[in-house]
Structure 1
């Protein structure tokens, strides 16, 4: 997809996320809106995946280590045809496959996640297996910034550098908020980029809502042979809905009828802007 098409798709995914969470009356809204652009870039442009052959041996692997923000991932997998889009209506309902965290009973999901701090370690194992099997697939692992307080993240970071896993790409959704407030108030992380560099990773810091920057950073990884890549995606929690942006309460707030209408109206306006810009290009 072209950059404008990716931006349009991301807005549509945000609308699907809000509708799904509103219907289910549960979900992690803020983080799903902040990671939507990252996932859109990955699934529609960067990664090698096949909805008709989810276990394709040469596929790139994706691990949603911040598994509580699964809503955007469910919407993208459905849009790509990994499962019927109608199934989104069952999100978090009794007996559904689409629970509130990634579930590997669903095509396209590599592993169950939810307990923070586990995803990168599994990603190290997958990337090491690819090296030893002489496969050229890449492994992408999306982490939250609050998750960086988990010691297991840093054990995995050391291992990734030790084994020179340049087929491993870590991504941090750096929206600076977690369930109980600012990440810096809960457990100070800065200087976060320098810490990852000190652990032997090549660090790329970008605006996590700049689709062009996302695509370039993710496509180009690794820029340095023999080093894993860490993409610091600086994002806004609740991105795309003005009254949800940077508001800790929206970590798991479910929009009511009025909030849903207003949010969808904002996103619809954004879609019209993108369509207008596309017309000007042509």
Structure 2
């Protein structure tokens, strides 16, 4: 592997030569600018390929859409209060799953998904998502399937679910439990959109956003700034359905669609691919 060959050169076998190369680059940038430096790099890489010199791939990319602290607007909410709410929801979510598995060994459930994405959801609930009580064209939110325990814990804090229902997590057949994942058929008064098996949420969100635009363009519904929100895990993006329709979203210019990717670098079947910038 190219990387292994480069690692064998450490520590530097000729620090003076390395320093001279770096100083030469500094002088080029200082005297002739970055464009000249880029041109020289291009020529060097071209020559290296001709000589059969392996060049390591540049897998690390720049940060995209990163906002420096001084450019951020003031936070519109109460950070301390919202932090306390998140802690309560995280606790209830974890305890609900843990208690269910103590009672029924092997019942299952996910802990890390909501634990790592609670801030994403709470900022959305407090400051972005618009419900139907305020606007007939409410936002459509596709919750990541494995984050369902956190959504249940939040509903319990709001008084919309009972302790008995939480105690029957993943045991909904008796009528007083909670489904494993977002399931409108089993819980029609709670869930709106199914998002499991993994990958179905993203592709459904894309086509929902496109259908909304179609209805607006045909004059079948009034134009609105309603959004389709899709919460997806970084490991989930390896599912064919997750990113398979992204070209449709780009081609149709679906600016009413927002993907929120929870990059916790965890998955059930191995490490998540990343570029070191997450």
Structure 2 residue runs of 5 or longer lacking an equivalent are 1-76, 102-107
How much does 1:106 deviate? 4.2
Query: Which residue of the other structure, out of 102, 105, 112, is the alignment partner of 2:182?
Result: 102
Structure 1: how far apart are the matches of 2:258 and 2:249? Answer: 10
Distance, in Å, in 2 between the alignment partners of 1:129 and 1:180 is 34
Distance 1:173 1:83, change over 3 A: same
Higher strand share: 1
Aligned to 2:155: 77
Distance 2:238 2:269 in 1: 14
Say if 2:242 is the partner of 1:164: no
> Within 5 Å, which residues of 2 pair with 1:1-282?
1-25=77-101, 26-49=108-131, 57-64=136-143, 66-84=144-162, 86-95=164-173, 96-104=176-184, 105-131=187-213, 132=216, 133=221, 134-184=223-273, 189-190=274-275
- 1:126: how far off? 2.2
Please list the CA deviations of residues 93-131 of structure 1 after superposition, one character each: whole Å capped at 9, or x if unmatched.
Answer: 252451211111243422122211111221122222333
For structure 1, which runs of at least 5 residues remain unmatched after alignment?
A: 192-204, 206-233, 235-282
Residue 111 to residue 78, structure 1, CA distance change in 2 (3 Å): same
**C-alpha deviations, 1:218-272, integer Å up to 9, x for none?**
xxxxxxxxxxxxxxxx5xxxxxxxxxxxxxxxxxxxxxxxxxxxxxxxxxxxxxx
RMSD: 2.5
* TM-score normalised by L of structure 2: 0.60
Q: CA deviation at 1:67?
A: 0.7
Secondary structure at the counterpart of residue 181 of structure 1: coil
Q: Deviations over 1:177-201 (max 9, x none)?
A: 11123113xxxx548xxxxxxxxxx
- Higher RCO (C-alpha 8 Å, min separation 6): 1
Deviations for 1:139-193, whole angstroms, at most 9, x for unmatched residues?
1101111111122222221111111111111011101111123113xxxx548xx
- Aligned partners of 2:160, 2:136: CA distance in 1, in Å? 16
Question: Would the alpha carbon gap of residues 48 and 59 (structure 1) be closer, same or farther in structure 2, given more than 3 Å must change?
Answer: same
Secondary structure of the structure 1 residue equivalent to 2:244: helix
